[in-house]
Every structure is written in structure tokens, then in C-alpha cells.
Amino acid sequence: MKNILVLQHIAVEDPGYMKDLMEADGWQLTQIELDEGGSIPADLSGFDAMLCMGGPMDTWMEVEHPWLIEEKRRIHDWVVTMGKPFLGFCLGCQLLGEVLGGEVVKSEPPEIGVLDIDMTPASKQDRLFSEYPATIKAVQWHSYEVQGLESNPEVTVLGSSGNTKYQIFKYRNNAYAVQFHVEVRSDTVMDWGCIPEYKSALEDSLGAGALDAFDRSAREHMPEMNRLCKLLYENFKRIV
């Protein structure tokens, strides 16, 4: 049985469909609610992989959320020093990017909706993403993104959109980050639409009343998005 450490920043953003797959395989998930005062265990030796989820805060909000300082340090220890398997989603992607020397900046414009991501040639030789089609549909819900990772020669871009270079990237062969939400379930969009920060970003980007259309689009593409999530999970299992 594998023991997975999950770093969460809001209760509604758990590993979603990937959690369903892990639990079906009998994996143990240790979910730490950092925003609710949870602490990362001092001893990480008993964990096989780390997942870092999304959240409504931003990476630089260390005054409002001082636990971000410790979280970044522990991600660095896990990924760089220990070389252990890591998956980051949205905010988790940005935290990894910052840890690796990048900068998190405002997206112009924000990416919200079911949008296209183009896989790079490098993805065809990657252990996790080699079987992904050339272009995929994905749920995007971010107003900030990682930039400036070109200075780290151990970072490889695996997927990009028209506005965001680092939609998917990896560090060495153990740490992966996706800016979008591969882990979505059929109820994800409506659940997240109740979060004030997410609702505001959605309406600022797409206009009042956009949630219903977003939800319909997500449900339309859900079978393929779930297939890609399962494919990612099955490949991730091989490095855990």
C-alpha cells in the first residue's frame, strides 16, 4: 500500500477524481489542511509521494498565510533534496515553480473555462505524458502563472497554451506540475463556483452568469478529461 501526502489549501480542492482512483487501489491518503492549521509532518520518510493542490490564495501571500513559508521549504526538501515523486495542481504548480527559481505573475488575460493545451515535442518522450494527444481540453481557473523557469536547466516544458507557457512542466524526472485541473469530477465546477474568490475571477473574466455555461462545457468534456486523469495516474504509479 502506498501512502500519499496531500497538501490542501481549501477543503473543496482535494485530489478529486485522482483521489477516487487512488482509494480504489487501496492507497492511503494523508490530507493536510494547511489553511485550517494543519501541519506537514516533521518526518516524511513514510510517504511515497506528495500531491500539492490548488487554492484561492497566491504564492506570495505569506503575511496572510504564514504557513506558505514552511510549505515551500518542505516542497523543496521533498523535490530537490530527496528527489521524491511530486504532483502539483494549479496553486501547487505555482508553488513548485517558485521553489525551482521561477516567478508567479498575473496572467494576461486570466485563463478560465474549458480551454486547449498543446503538448510539446518533449512530452512524447516523457514517462507520464507520452500518450497524451497533441491537444487536450482542460478546466482552467487561474489568474496567475509561473514564468522565468528557463534559468533552471532541469525544468522541461511538456504542455503550453496560447497564453501560458508552463501549463505542464517537470523537474528532473520526479516532480510534475500542471497549471490546469486534470483532477476534476462532474460536480467540481459548481462546487468551486461557490468560493468567493473563484466566482469573482470567473465573472470578471467571462461575465455574470457564466458559471452555468462553464459547468455545461466541463460536463461535456468530462469523459475525456477523466480518461486523461486516469492515464496520468496510471503512469504516475510507475514512479511512486
Q: Indicate the average pLDDT of the chain.
A: 96
Closest CA to 17 of 226, 214, 193, 190: 226
d(CA 95, CA 35): 15
Query: What CATH number should be reported for the domain holding residue 222?
Result: 3.40.50.880
Per the structure, the complete domain to which residue 210 belongs is given by 3-237
Q: What is the pLDDT of residue 69?
A: 98
Averaged pLDDT, 53-79? 97
pLDDT category at 1 given cuts 50, 70, 90 is confident
In degrees and rounded to multiples of 5, residue 53 shows phi and psi of: -95, 180
Count of domains observed in the chain? 1
